[in-house]
A and B are shown apart, each in its own frame.
Chain A
Amino acid sequence: MSEGYARENELVSVESNVYDRAMDVGIALSIVTFVVGMLTFADAVPLGATGTELINFFGLLLAATAGGVGIVAVFSYANVVPVTSQRVRGVAFGLLVGLVGLTVAAVALPVSLATMLGLILLVEAGLLAAGGVASRLELVDTDPSRTAGLLAGLAFGVIGAITGAVIVGSLPGVPSAVVGVPLWLLGAVALGVGFGALTIGPREDLGSTLPPALILGVFGATIATAAIGVGWQWAPENLSGGFTGGSIIPLFVLFGSLLTSWSAAKCRADFGARGRQYGAFFVINLNAFLMVAVMVAIVTYVTVKGVSWAFHGFTIGALSLLVVLTPPLVLTIQYARAPAGTDEWHTAARQFFRVIPLAAVGSLATLLLGIFVTGTTFEVPYQYAILVDRSTVMLDTAVSVTPSLQVGNLLVIVSGALLFTYFLRRYGSLRDVGTEYEQLSSVRQGLPAAIGLLGLLSLVYIGIGPVLDGLPIGIGVATLGAVAVAALALAPLGPLVTGEGSLADRAHRNSQLLNVGLLGGVALLTAVVVFEWTAVSNPRLGPVAPVGVVAVIAALASTCAAGLASRARRATDDTLRHRILGDQVTLGLAAAAGYLTLIGLHVAATSEVPFVLGPIEIGIQGSLSWPAVLQGAIPLGEAPGGIYPAIVGTIWIVIGASLFAVPLGLGAAVFLTEYAEQGRFTEVVETATNALWSTPSIVFGLFGAAFLIPRLGDNLSLLAAQLTLSFMLLPLVVITSREAIKSVPDEYRDASAALGVDKWKTIRSVVIPAAMPGVVTGVILGVGRIAGETAPLILVLGSEINATNAIDVLGGFAFTTSPPFVTNDALLTSSAALPTQVWAIITAGVSGSASKGWATAFMLLVVVLSFYAVGITARTYFRRKINYE
């Protein structure tokens, strides 16, 4: 550290500064060439680009880099994100210099991008050679080891051998063998040994710069002289494929830039131990970046291919979007409110970063509000081409946000339920706070009774529903319930608004009433909605549905209570009261969210009739129209459609398979690790699970088709698919859960046992929570695998292309009076699924629509990534719970 520090300061001396800056430019150039190499490899820029196109390309790169470097520089200058490392600054400087140079070169030289890349490689070669030689001649103060090391020597030996073989083998007009020995072998040996010797022989500074410089020189020269140009092709006789310039040049460039970054980084850090460390750092990072880039490229590729078809005619109402936006809004508010860490983190800069997400979500919400205020539709039109009967047809369409005030009940339910659980989790307790009114305790006892009664009534309806048709029970119960809920919800407001003392005093005293009123109201209304659903009636008084109206009133009342509590809270200093009022606020908000959810559920329960409130309409059918994704196939229709059944199918398959596999797997893992005697038996089971996990999926498919299907009604079915995939998922869940449970330290078990807690409770409350992140990781990996599994599905589920209807699993449940009491026909029918649909479309050839295939693949990615997101959120949640960060 001290030595490094001294050297960094010493760098102020003139000549070493030039040396270091030159090497920084070398590193920066290697990064630029790496990026350009990847872009050309992905065909994002043509290698043949010249003139304006080339200038624009480098100009764009320069602008992006200058922007990035500039922002960081500004923040660094303002001490928000201080960047003090000379090396980071050096690389940033090098990036700017390098890109300015390249842009200028693009303007000045009339060459193509390929030639330009060749020239850059040559420049890099020159820089490396100069760096090595300058160090060897002791012009600069460096710290090289005696040799670059055996490993580097071997690596360059291999590279040299390959280069030798290719050069000698592809030279025209030379005999292919001399005295029986193939010439390319001689070339390989000669260059391999030569390069190895060159690396190992001289001192480290030469040994680790000259070989890469030579290789770069060869690559650069070949490309720059167009010996391998864009149109170049090489088809070796004994190889079925061939190489083209278009793929060889980017490979050369990528490889060259890796070499440059390694070697230049070594020079920059003055060789020796620090040099090796810095060189390895760059190579490893570029490599990791390459991996990530490959994955991003695959996702982007599919997205680009599929997105235009998938979003054909996408329309949504602004209000619906606002409903979707509420949970993120609440989260970002929470994030902005709670700055992490100690006081010094509360600086302006931190707060700035904390409010950024809120600002983003907030501005989006304002834009949406603007849409209804102005009443104009926001539209992004676009055009894309599809193939119809081998001829290209252009389609015009748009993505739009309308000022519609219709909202689908599903959106309301999901958002409301999310908020409800969120607030309820944050809610502590209001027990023994405030005045306990006498009537309250009777309400407290009466409520469960009333709810129980409603539950009973619902059961009666499930049993003998039709008999009771025609009796005015539905409307009576609904009205009574609604009135009771309204009373409960409004009760806390009275004492809050009037009475003695300050608002805070009143709120504090009011705690019990609030607790019972709000939560009791939500519980009672839930029971009423469940009753409505079982009674299959839509109780109305004239045009008014009492349940919905009361839910709205109650939601407003709860919000009011929360608001008042929040105002009172701001005015108190007392910590205890602060906590109590805080709990009241969360409780009020939770209740409001709960009532909103109930409105959505009410609409769902009372069939097709939307719930209308002024201009706002909440119905089964919202304002979201997404034909490609949310509709079944439209025979001969103009607009695209037909992914929806497949999405629903895939989601049900994943849910069903996880429902089978996760509890079973976790249970098996618990048994094997905690209860079974460790020995032969567990070893055998372990080996068997591992073997099962490596079993090819088609084998599972065959098993499903030959064994399950005959036993499950003899046709392709969803249930068979779920079971088959759950067998595939099971071993992974067992393996990962076992590992996770094993890695829970024994100290926890001992501690629990010493407190007199039995084994099962210990497992449930200590071992499984501590193992949960590992278990979830396993499930995430497994779900990723089964969601995209195709082969077994083709065998057990079939491969429908043009499904017009999604499978209705929930609606398929029917209750019977004879065993098995619950049946579900939907589970026993076949369904579309995303992977099988992709496969079917692609194999259907011309008659299938390739665009639809891509869009289906895109949606498959989206679905899988959504499952990932859910899994990763769950894992983060469990990790947070057991870690102390």
Chain B
Amino acid sequence: MNNQIGDTDTETDTNVSTDSGTDSGLGATAGVETSTTTTAGESEEQVRDEWTDYRFDGPSKLTVENLDVWYGDDHALKDVSMEIPEKSVTALIGPSGCGKSTYLRCLNRMNDRIKAARIDGSVELDGMEIYDPNTNLVELRKRIGMVFQSPNPFPKSIRDNISYGPRKHGEINKGLLARLFGNDDSEKEAELVERSLRQAALWDEVQDRLDDNALGLSGGQQQRLCIARCLAVDPEVILMDEPASALDPIATSKIEDLVTELAKDYTVVIVTHNMQQAARISDQTAVFLTGGELVEYDDTDKIFENPESQRVEDYITGKFG
């Protein structure tokens, strides 16, 4: 299943940019590293493979190899390879437009839904290739849940938003007949709704209005609702795209606690623009920089205290980005 992987010889030749060997023929080498005027003030340097070669103990949940994404002719993600360990928090940071969301969407094949997107490379979940043509997308997305960058609740009641996934998966049955004969799952649903909303730090605010339409919630509340909705399906991996972008410090810290808590049983991949947040909650951090390359990936402490790359250091200390 690695026919899609680029034919770069990554063992040797570490001074060469990872792009130089790809057969994409899109002139990626003429991109960011060699240009003398980088847009956001990044200094020139070449990415070394060992910067992203993060080693950890224990099994890897997701293994990404040589992933490339194009939107039309726009090469949005360049030859990204990384392994994400199980039951941990992985933070993705980087300047706006560098491809973090794109990368995240590749992990549960949501990019397939974008017509212009073309994806090349391999992603394995527990050793199973998800870009296999026969992958069951429904099952895959059940196992890899996602919280989007902008909140997108359904135009339904708060309760129905949370129970939507389990209901459609047949785990909760609330049909009229079931209700008439008293074997409906209302109680189970109520429990699920309460647990999910509590986890997402929303329960206290909405417990009296579970039947109200979710579109009537504030932006931050909607964001937490979407987190709760994702949790209700009980996925193995949770992808979060800036889940705290519209939240106040208190709700943010609740979400951070939640993420830490989730990491005990789940694998969490989280995109954030907040360096402190990344430093606080994540076990390892991946830094993407303009142009869609993964520049450095390592223990969070290492990245924030002693990054290899000058550009990463500049980015983290706020010199650009």
Contact = CB atoms under 8 A, between A and B. Distances in A.
Interface of A: 424, 427-432, 444, 447-448, 512, 515-516, 519, 523, 745, 747-758, 761, 765-766, 769-770, 881-884
Contacts of B153: 751
Interface in B154-197: 154-156, 164-165, 168-169, 176, 179-184, 186-187
Interface of B: 108, 110, 113, 137-143, 145-146, 148, 150, 152-156, 164-165, 168-169, 176, 179-184, 186-187, 212-216, 226, 229-230, 233, 235
A756 B155 contact: no
Contacts of B230: 754-755
Majority-rule SS of B interface residues: helix
A427 B148 CA distance: 35
B184 A431 contact: yes
A884 B110 contact: no
A755 B182 contact: no
B110 A750 contact: yes
Contacts of A758: 138
B152 A750 contact: yes
Nearest to B168: A757
Contacts of B233: 755-756
A761 B165 CA distance: 11
Contacts of B179: 427, 429, 431
B113 A429 contact: no
Contacts of A519: 180-181
Contacts of B183: 431
Nearest to B232: A755
Contacts of A756: 138-143, 145, 165, 169, 233, 235
A428 B186 contact: yes
A761 B168 contact: yes
A523 B180 contact: yes
Contacts of B184: 429, 431
B145 A754 contact: yes
A94 B24 CA distance: 80
Contacts of A882: 155-156, 213
A761 to B, nearest CB: 5
A430 B113 contact: no
Contacts of A770: 155
Nearest to A441: B182
Contacts of A748: 152, 154-155
A526 to B, nearest CB: 11
A751 B186 contact: no
Given A444-B182, A755-B233, 5 more contacts: A431-B187, A750-B113, A755-B164, A757-B169, A770-B155
Contact of B181 (A444, A745, A753): A444
A525 to B, nearest CB: 14
Contacts of B146: 754
Contact of A754 (B141, B168, B176): B141
A447 B183 CA distance: 14
Given A431-B184, A444-B181, A523-B180, A755 B145 contact: yes
Contact of A751 (B140, B143, B154): B154
A512 B182 CA distance: 8
Contacts of B108: 754
Contacts of A883: 155, 213, 215
Nearest to B140: A756
A753 B110 contact: yes
Contacts of A432: 187
Nearest to A766: B154
Contact of A757 (B138, B176, B212): B138
Given A757-B168, A884-B215, A751 B148 contact: yes
A241 to B, nearest CB: 55
A515 B214 CA distance: 31
Given A444-B181, A747-B148, A753 B113 contact: yes
4 closest pairs, A vs B, by CB? A756-B142, A884-B216, A884-B213, A747-B152
Contacts of B140: 756
Contacts of A750: 110, 113, 148, 152
